[in-house]
């Protein structure tokens, strides 16, 4: 692991406040309905738990885990399902909950795949979005924060599997790269 520091980019209070706002939006948009949250492991887990607590509707949860297919994934965008969902999606208001949309490759592939399972509706909710890095267009309905092209950790996001437990979003800074 390279020598690095973690600087606070979005504080715990800011993140909490924004998750409450997204919860309120979902509660309003899906009034009278049940929503089915699909968490993309592991990164989406912290956000999904906090969000689910702030949705004032009947909520069901499911989890899936995907990984990149070989070393070629960057170009192909094909993802492998490591753990599939337990429940069918047919007829449900599915909200996919992700930590971050970066190139968009993972999500565009995943959303197409989930659409084939005939949900009643399918929307994407991400805590963070890095639009500068987008390679494939993805339709994101709910975004927590739009951030610049920096490497972030915390709230489920990792650097070499560490820092997922930080209660805030931190920027990883490598010495010599500051102010670049
Ligand atoms: P993409 O949108 O297909 O490029 O992939 C997004 C995935 O890359 C996310 O779900 C994260 O797992 C990972 N990722 C992208 N940017 C960051 C970051 O800044 N910190 C940690 N993980 C990231
Ligand atoms: Mg992820």
DSSP 8-state symbol, 13: H
Chain segment 130-167, per-residue pLDDT in tens = 999 999 999 999 999 999 999 999 999 999 999 999 99
Is 113 a member of any domain?
Answer: yes
140, β-bridge pairs: none
CB atoms within 10 A of CB 11: 12
In the residue annotation, 102 being an active-site residue is answered as: yes
Is 23 a member of any domain?
Answer: yes
Contact present, 70 and 46 (Cβ < 8 Å): no
Instruction: Please name which ligand lies nearest the alpha carbon of 130.
Output: 1
Averaged over 92-111, what is the pLDDT? Answer: 95
103 touches ligand 1 (CB under 6 Å): yes
Q: Which domain holds residue 133?
A: 14-151
Is 9 a member of any domain?
Answer: no
Range list of β-strands (E), 11-92: 35-41, 59-68, 79-83
Is 179 a member of any domain?
Answer: no
Atom of ligand 1 nearest to the CA of 98: 10
- Rounded to a whole number of angstroms, the distance between the first and last alpha carbons of the chain is 21
Is 167 a member of any domain?
Answer: no
Atom of ligand 1 nearest to the CA of 43: 12
> pLDDT value at position 79?
85
Residue of 16, 29, 62, 102 with catalytic role: 102
CATH of the domain at 137: 3.40.50.2020
The pTM assigned to this predicted structure is 0.94
**Which single residue is written with the structure tokens 């390279």?**
2
Domain count for the chain: 1
Is the C-alpha dihedral spanning 88, 91, 93, 95 positive or negative? positive
């Amino acid at each position: 692991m390279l020598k690095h520091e973690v600087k606070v980019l979005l504080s715990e209070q800011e993140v909490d406040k924004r998750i409450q706002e997204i919860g309120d939006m979902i509660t309003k948009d899906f009034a009278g309905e049940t929503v089915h949250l699909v968490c993309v492991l592991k990164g989406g887990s912290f956000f999904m738990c906090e969000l689910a607590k702030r949705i004032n509707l009947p909520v069901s949860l499911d989890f899936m885990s995907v990984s990149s297919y070989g070393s070629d994934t960057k170009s192909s965008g094909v993802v492998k399902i490591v753990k599939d969902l337990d429940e069918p999606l047919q007829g449900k208001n599915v909200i996919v909950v992700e930590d971050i949309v970066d190139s968009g490759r993972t999500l565009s592939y995943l959303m197409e795949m989930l659409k084939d399972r005939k949900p009643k509706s399918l929307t994407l909710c991400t805590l963070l979005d890095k639009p500068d890095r987008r390679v494939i267009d993805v339709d994101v309905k709910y975004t927590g924060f739009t951030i610049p092209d920096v490497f972030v950790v915390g709230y489920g996001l990792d650097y070499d599997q560490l820092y997922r437990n930080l209660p805030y979003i931190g920027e990883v800074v490598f010495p010599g790269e500051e102010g670049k």
